[in-house]
Structure 1
């Protein structure tokens, strides 16, 4: 209790029965209760006993470190968000709006601001169904050299993955209009799938423990057909932005800081593609030069680029803000 700085109510597997604990050293964990009443009683009892607080020096150190980590993906993102969330809920002068002002002034990286937004929104690394979601920012996975000064290199951050391109957007618009006519008593929809789910997260992280166990649990104990696995970055982009009408997935934070998730270091047998090619490490775009580390660094550079910095708020409004529901969502 002497190290506990914050407790937040959380959902777990879509049930409103969990609590997430944040500690001075930057660690956190999530527990679930039998029901919401038990959870609320536990929250009230523990919340009144919280005495630990982050000092101004600790908070400032966290912000300074975050501002320095614009490219090199070495910082523990969960611990960073823990410190900021703790500060936001422990009676300091820091507020979410002040953090946003720091981000707008360039004092906080895009990466760490997204981590913070996800955590404030209730997303957590401790729940695959509410795992932090990050945007696709690059649309070029074919060039030998990645040109971050060319706007054509980037996706349209004001549109969801289902609307990347006029033809694709029109197909989903037709589905939306058809759903109104066919089921007038059911809320109409553009997409039958989500941009983030436990299956999406585990499919990205399938080469790592313990995520492979979660994937197998969701998949009935065996790997899916090799052609449906995450085996190519370019293929995953084409599927979610152009080719697949049931695929509108976004990315996860690991694309911007963890090269290990791209390597089959555990030698799992994922089978062969239809052309006979065995699935092993993830196939990288030419501009990565075959290196997972270079890929992640380039992804991080793109995330922190002037173009993304100028347009990231549009994606945040779409996923977390006022464009996620209602008429604004229909228009997009």
Structure 2
């Protein structure tokens, strides 16, 4: 298993190199001028030429790419022309917010989706099954930003006659009036570590609606995959044999059904983890959640090459790490897949 992990990590090097090339070329093929986007109404031919010379936009692409790779190998992701802040510093400051949101959304999707899919499969054709299938279809069809606004309208702003439901904060990560101590920038964890219970609870309240909105699509996917996988396993001979032998239903469920049905579900969860980071762009924008999603949205609008390149490389590394973790979990659930 250790050799397998090391081999996968080494294969990550050419993948990231190829991604850097494609990303570099793709960003510079986008319509628009980064210098003009940065200067806005103050753009003049002289000021545009000065910005292009300052940041090297007027140099050949091969030279720009060589300088970019040289900085990258030194751990320098450059600085944003728009804010002047180092990309790595901004990422480390904002990334905990996105991690907190993505983990909360994934936890919601897994905790609700797996049991819902399992019981829907056990009662195939029943009311619960129809509800689970219908709800999962709605979760896929409704865009995440539409659901975000609906949740915000009902549970934060309030509808006439339903004002009692509006008990959650509409935006932000924490009440700006709260003087909380931030150690890791994971606000809930910080509140628990410092025993500032009111700060932890307030951060949790601000996290609920964004996590529900962002977790709706993975919830639908996990529910449908769990249902389909459990239905397939329930029809296998070894499950019928275990039932005929008189094994307790709990043992059959744990040892035979769920353990064998989890492999495709784990794959789905691994793929969805990366998608949560990209979906956070819209969710963070709607709820003014100060993470990398909202910052990427601003960087795209201003053609901030340094931020876009740095953040997308980081997300690609996370994708690779998540996929590696999924492969390792395969060996936990199925000993035949263990690589020695």
Shared fold by TM > 0.5? no
TM-score range, shorter chain: under 0.3
The structure whose RCO (Cα within 8 Å, separation 6+) is larger is 2
Is the radius of gyration larger for structure 1 or structure 2? 2
